[in-house]
Amino acid sequence: MNWHFVGQSLGKFLQGYALILTTALMMGIYDTDKGVKAFTITVLVTFLLGKILARLKVAGDKSIGIREGYTIVLGIWFLATIFGAMPLYIYGATPTLISAWFESVSGLTTTGATVIGNLGEMPRSILLWRSIMHWIGGVGIIMMFVAVLPHMGVGVINLVKAEASGPTTERLVPRLKDTAIRLWIIYSCLTLAEIVLLLFTGMSLFDAVNHSMSSMACGGFSTKDSSVSHFGSWQAELIIALFMTIAGGNFNLYMHVWRKGFKVLWHNTEFKTYIGILLGAIAIVTADIFVVENYMFNITYFRDTIFQVVSFLTGTGFASANFEVWPELSKTVLVILMFLGGCAGSTAGGLKIIRVVIVCKQIWAEIKRTLHPRMIMTIKLDNRILESSVLNSVSQFFALYMLTVAVSVLLVTACGLDFNNALSATLSTLGNVGLGFGVVGPSSNAGQLPESAKFILSWCMLLGRLEFFTLLVVFQADFWRGKKGW
């Protein structure tokens, strides 16, 4: 392990992170609010530590091996959550360090569960920082790191693989740095477009910026306690729902659209499945509310149905209605959507649609193999044969996901929550949704959770965002041994 190179890389990140923190500091200075002191201290400590680490001498090989890649990614995420929590705790937005860390982890993993109540009383610098954490965590801290820093050395793909969502990592241009830059250009342009559209609905510039960053990151932090429903604007809700849907798609696919046109969307199995699930869920919930429950058709209910289905499937977690009073079938559909999540390469959470598609293909192949034992089976996706390593990783991910749910529910119930609340909180945090039922419902706040439960659920958020293996690999003894080939 090249510890000097790892430390130098973390130092460079912290210096850049201090610059990002300065954005919230400038907001505080502009408003002359009470968050200025908290952000000033955080910026200085972050920058000075980064300066010290960046000055480490690196001798010999500067390539990023697998071990260095995973260590840098985990180090960056750990430091980002710690220093992201500092201004929240110093200002007093959260009562304890654990609560501040929970809020920071929730922001950077784009989960959106919050422990802060009375958001209207918070300084705008604190509210902006929460949204910024969402935005940089959306496409990925590492992707931002790769796009901005001039020299990352050989093997930078190992950094991206360690953070990437989905079973495969796609590089669309020869240089990974160019791919990262193009991703951030698309991401930034879509965010800017949403801001402009929300301004036309009468939303203030501050609220438009915050909700655009939050929805494009599939986050869920709002500037209002009642979330999006506070604005009472159907135009704003539809715009946010549209951009949540876009954010739940594969950004690598959008780069193909940039080069080849919109026709590539309809040749992509995952994207078609994603839209199909979205429309099917809207149809089922609509039928359940208006037909089965004999409610009179109301355009407001239909709008709330569209918004909440999109919010749950993409893992954004915005609320436009109290869906806990909806019929049982509708609530069951929302829970299933929490599991599924968006597309690989998106800012959404959950299992990812591509994994669901692959597992369904595997099941169908096994059924056919039962009837024809000697038949050689191959599984294809978009006319490409999937390698056995991909199939194995998907199966292992499913198994690990279910095992983690079971263990996490057990631990959270040991903290004092009943089974239903423990299950809802676990699914919500592990899927990076942030919104659920009961204690994490639209009328509740994660601040009422026991401190021990917040700590456990924070790790659930990190496991869900880094997709398990990146975080768990450090517990393997071989990871720390000085073997070549890592």
Give 380-393 pLDDT, tens digit per residue.
888 888 888 888 88
Output the pLDDT for position 25.
Answer: 96
pLDDT bracket for residue 174 (50, 70, 90): very low
- In the three-class reduction of DSSP (H, G, I as helix; E, B as strand; rest coil), residue 245 is classed as helix
Per-residue DSSP letter, 387: P
Output the pLDDT for position 135.
Answer: 94
- Whether residue 483 has pLDDT greater than 60: no
- Whether residue 278 has pLDDT greater than 60: yes
- 120-133 burial, b if ≥16 CB within 10 A, otherwise e? eebbbbbbbbbbbb
Output the pLDDT for position 61.
Answer: 58
Evaluate whether residue 65 is within a structural domain. yes
90/109 Cα distance (integer angstroms):
22
Q: Are 65 and 26 in contact (CB under 8 A)?
A: no
Lowest mean pLDDT among 137-151, 227-241, 320-334, 404-418: 137-151
Output the pLDDT for position 311.
Answer: 94
Evaluate whether residue 97 is within a structural domain. yes
Evaluate whether residue 51 is within a structural domain. yes
66/361 Cα distance (integer angstroms):
31
Q: What is the pLDDT of residues 318-339, one digit of tens each?
A: 988 888 888 899 999 999 999 8
User: Nearest Cα to 98, choosing from 428, 452, 479?
Assistant: 452
Evaluate whether residue 167 is within a structural domain. yes
User: Nearest Cα to 20, choosing from 118, 172, 141, 102?
Assistant: 141
User: Residues 107-114: what's their mean pLDDT?
Assistant: 92
- Whether residue 225 has pLDDT greater than 60: yes
Q: Are 108 and 214 in contact (CB under 8 A)?
A: no
Instruction: Tell which wins on pLDDT, 417 or 380.
Output: 417
- In the three-class reduction of DSSP (H, G, I as helix; E, B as strand; rest coil), residue 369 is classed as helix
Output the pLDDT for position 64.
Answer: 66
Q: What is the pLDDT of residues 13-45, one digit of tens each?
A: 999 999 999 999 999 999 988 899 999 999 999
User: Nearest Cα to 189, choosing from 148, 146, 247?
Assistant: 247
- Whether residue 276 has pLDDT greater than 90: yes
Q: What is the pLDDT of residues 343-388, one digit of tens each?
A: 988 888 888 999 999 999 988 888 888 888 777 778 888 888 888 8
92/201 Cα distance (integer angstroms):
33
Which amino acid does the sequence have at 439? V
Evaluate whether residue 199 is within a structural domain. no
User: Residues 155-171: what's their mean pLDDT?
Assistant: 55
Evaluate whether residue 383 is within a structural domain. no
- In the three-class reduction of DSSP (H, G, I as helix; E, B as strand; rest coil), residue 228 is classed as helix
Lowest mean pLDDT among 110-114, 133-137, 289-293: 289-293
- Whether residue 416 has pLDDT greater than 80: yes
Q: What values do phi and psi take at 151, rounded to 5? A: -135, 115
Q: What is the pLDDT of residues 134-158, one digit of tens each?
A: 999 988 777 766 665 555 554 555 5
Indicate if the alpha-carbon torsion angle 446, 128, 184, 86 is positive or negative: negative
Evaluate whether residue 436 is within a structural domain. no
For the chain, how many structural domains are there in total? Answer: 1
User: Residues 84-112: what's their mean pLDDT?
Assistant: 94
The predicted model scores a pTM of 0.90
DSSP 255-311: HHHHHH-GGGGGG-HHHHHHHHHHHHHHHHHHHIIIIIS-PPP-HHHHHHHHHHHHH
User: Residues 171-185: what's their mean pLDDT?
Assistant: 69
Evaluate whether residue 175 is within a structural domain. yes
Output the pLDDT for position 325.
Answer: 86
The residue range of the domain holding 83 is 3-181
User: Residues 153-169: what's their mean pLDDT?
Assistant: 55
Output the pLDDT for position 201.
Answer: 94
Looking at every residue in the chain, the average pLDDT score rounds to 86
Sequence-distant (6+) residues with CB within 8 A of 148 are 16
Sequence-distant (6+) residues with CB within 8 A of 388 are none
Alpha helices in 316-415 (DSSP H): 328-340, 353-371, 388-414
